[in-house]
Structure formats: structure tokens, C-alpha cells
Structure 1
């Protein structure tokens, strides 16, 4: 299935995505500022692939002047409900609906891998001001935690993936060669009801293209397994955010 089709699959589950997807820790935005030595407060920021506005909200709370760029109308509608005063345009990273040299930060939260690098890299360089920064990050479950490793193995079997533990740093090996990236990893934890944990899983693109029946069967079995791990009904999720930041040279 083409990446664009998978990326647009989120539109069919926009409400569940908004309700259950994890946010990001404050230390992540600290690093977004530190690596390029540039403050977010007062900066003009375009958050691309903004989805329901999870990262957009954090950037605005840091004092950024944010514009959200999102290709999915239903995801954009959820963002509009959450952040009615944030400028929002429909579009994607391969053809940014932004003026040249118009932003100080261009951010992709969980979204860069959906782009065509032959198009998105020149577009990033076009819209960034001299000295501006491109920030890419991904939130991955921490598979060093035993229950998460077990769940990841079940997910790989379901989707026919390699039975190898994923390495979050592997994303750093596929960064655009045209840009000099600094990288960092940030660990964090959230505690959520099992319903929210399973709702987050259900919003993954793999489940959205699997179909309702297959997803329902897997998630029901998963609920039963996790009830034994978390008898109080609250899951302790641990994540590793992989961040890469590159500055556009003057």
C-alpha cells in the first residue's frame, strides 16, 4: 500500500486519534530549542502533518506563532475543535502551502516518514528562513520494558513484520544527507486507562488498513492479556522520543 494511502488512513479514525494518542514531554521541546540554539517563543513555526494538533498545542504553549499544515480534512476538523484560534491550512510536506523563507521552525511530529524526500527536503529548505531549523521527531514505545516488548512481538506477528526488536535510532540513519542533523532521545512515561491504551493502538495506520473485524479480534485478546499485567485497569506506557534537528545555513 502506498505511503500516501496509509497516511490518509488516519482521517477515518480522527476522533479516536484525538482522544487516545500520547502527547510529548516538556524535555522534548527543550531539546528542539537547545540543538539549534534558537528559542521557540516568538518564533514562526509551521507544524506539518499536524494531525489533531498534539504537537501544535505544545508549540503554541511555548509562545510560538504556529500555523498547522494537515492533509486530512477530518484530522484538521479535530484540530480546529481543539485549537480554534490556530491558523490551519490543508496540505502536506511534499508541496507546502507556505511562502518561501517564511518560518523559523518547520516541525514534523510523527509525520516525516510519510513524505517523499525528493520533494519534502527542497520544500523544507524553501520555506525555512536563514538560520531556521527543521525538527523531526517520533514517539516509539520503549521495548526495553518487558510487557511492551511482548506486545510489540504480538503486533509484529499480526502484521507479518520481522521478528526483531525495533531500534528507535534506526530513524537517524535515514535522515536527508543534504542536512547536518543533531540528534537526541528523550524517555518519558504516561499512565492511562486500558481503554485509552487500546484506543491508541487502534489509531495506528496498520490497524486502520487491517479492517475493523481483524482489529477488534486482536484488541479484545490484548485487553484480556493486559488485564493480568495491570489489574487496576491503568497501563503505565513508556516511550522514547527520537529527535533530529537541522539548521538551514544563512
Structure 2
């Protein structure tokens, strides 16, 4: 299965994505302001790969002037239903439909790994004003929690797909791997959790591309087996999902 097939698979499952995916902790947005040196209130932000609008909504709540960019028809349709008054343009990170020097921040929530960094980095630098920042983050599963680590192994075996992993802050090759060589990059890890119903937890799992490109019968088999396992661990059917947000803030050379 190609990366493009996985990237476009979300369009057929936009409602599932919007219903079950987690949002982001408030601490993340304070960290963005600190590391970028730009208050969100009044900041001109391009939210790239905005999907159903999870990150866009949180940026708008903090007073940012946000233009969302989303390539997928299904995701864009759900975005417009959720945030009918928010500006949304169709396009992707590799060819941004935004003017030169027009944004203080460009944010990529859960979307940077779908870009071609040989194109998306120059595009980001073109659109950012001098002193602006490219801001990337992922919710990554906290694999130091034993049941989460075991579940991740089962998912990888079943789907053959791996999710973006948490690169150590001091990993010498992390910036190169992210395609951000030559930029001034700072990072932070932010741990948080949410407690959800077992149904929501399972819905979140199968909103990921590894399941979306899989035969529906195989997905149902996994969900049934996982439901039985987790009922034993969580008899009240309330699951505490623990995440670590991997936040990257990058500025262009000389800024």
C-alpha cells in the first residue's frame, strides 16, 4: 500500500476521524507561544493538513487568525460542517495556496509526515514572514505504559503499519529525519492523557490509516479481539489513553 493511498484514506472516514480522534492539551499552545516567541492571539496562522479542524478550532479559540489548508475532499467537507465560518482553502503542504510572507506561523498537526520535505520546507519558508515559525506536532502513544506498548505491537502485526514514533529530544539524526536540516529547531515533549469510553478508544484506533486501507472484515476481527482484551483490563469500560505530544518549532536560517 502506497503512502499516498494511506494519506487519502482519511477522506472516506472523516466522520470517524472527527468523532474519535483526540484533540491537544492546552499546554501545547502555551509551549508554541513560548518556543516561537509569537502570541497566538492575533497571529496569522496557516493550519496545514487541517483535516476535520481539530487543531484549527483550538487555534481559533486562542484568538489566532487562521486559514486552514486541506487537500482531501472528505476531510474538507467535514471541516466545513464543524467550522462553517473558518476560512478553508484546498491545497497541500507541497504547494501552499498562500501568499509569500503572509503568515506568522504555519502549523502541521499530525500532517508533516505526509509531506515531501524537499518541497514542503521551501514552501513553508516562502509563506512565513521573516521571524515566523514552522510548527509541527504529533500525538504519540506513551509506550512506557505497558498495555499501550503491547497494543501497539498487536496493531503493527495486524496492519503492517507503524505510527510516527517519539524521537528522543537528543537524537542526533532527528532533525535530518524530519527534513529540517539547515533550520533553527527546538523541540519539547508534553505528556497528557484523556479518559474515554472503550467504544471511543477503539474508534480512535481504527481511524488510523493502517486500518482504513485494510479489508473491513480484518478490521472487525481486530476490534472484536481488542474489545475482549480491554474489557478484562478496564471492566468499567473507561480507558485512560496516555500520549506524549512531540512538538517541533523551526525557523528559517538567520531568524
Q: TM-score, normalised by structure 1?
A: 0.95
Native 8 Å contact 2:140 2:166 kept in 1:
no
Name the SS for the 1:47 alignment partner: strand
Native 8 Å contact 1:168 1:240 kept in 2:
no
Matches within 5 A, 1:92-241: 92-160=92-160, 166-169=165-168, 172-173=174-175, 174-175=177-178, 176-241=180-245
Name the SS for the 2:36 alignment partner: coil
Name the SS for the 2:213 alignment partner: helix
Matches within 5 A, 1:18-37: 18-37=18-37
Native 8 Å contact 1:172 1:244 kept in 2:
no
Give unpaired runs (5+ residues) of structure 2: none
Quote how far apart the aligned CAs of 1:113 are: 0.4
Native 8 Å contact 1:140 1:168 kept in 2:
no
Quote how far apart the aligned CAs of 1:159 are: 2.7
* Residues 168 and 197 of structure 1, relative CA distance in 2, 3 Å threshold: farther
- Of 238, 248, 252, which aligns to 1:244? 248
Equivalent residue, structure 1, for 2:74: 74
Distance 2:36 2:157 in 1: 40
Distance 1:9 1:168 in 2: 26
Native 8 Å contact 1:186 1:240 kept in 2:
yes
Distance 1:193 1:72 in 2: 29
C-alpha RMSD over aligned residues: 1.7
Q: TM-score, normalised by structure 2?
A: 0.93
Distance 2:204 2:167 in 1: 19
Name the SS for the 1:210 alignment partner: coil
Equivalent residue, structure 1, for 2:8: 8
Distance 1:18 1:161 in 2: 21
* Residues 167 and 64 of structure 1, relative CA distance in 2, 3 Å threshold: closer
Give unpaired runs (5+ residues) of structure 1: none
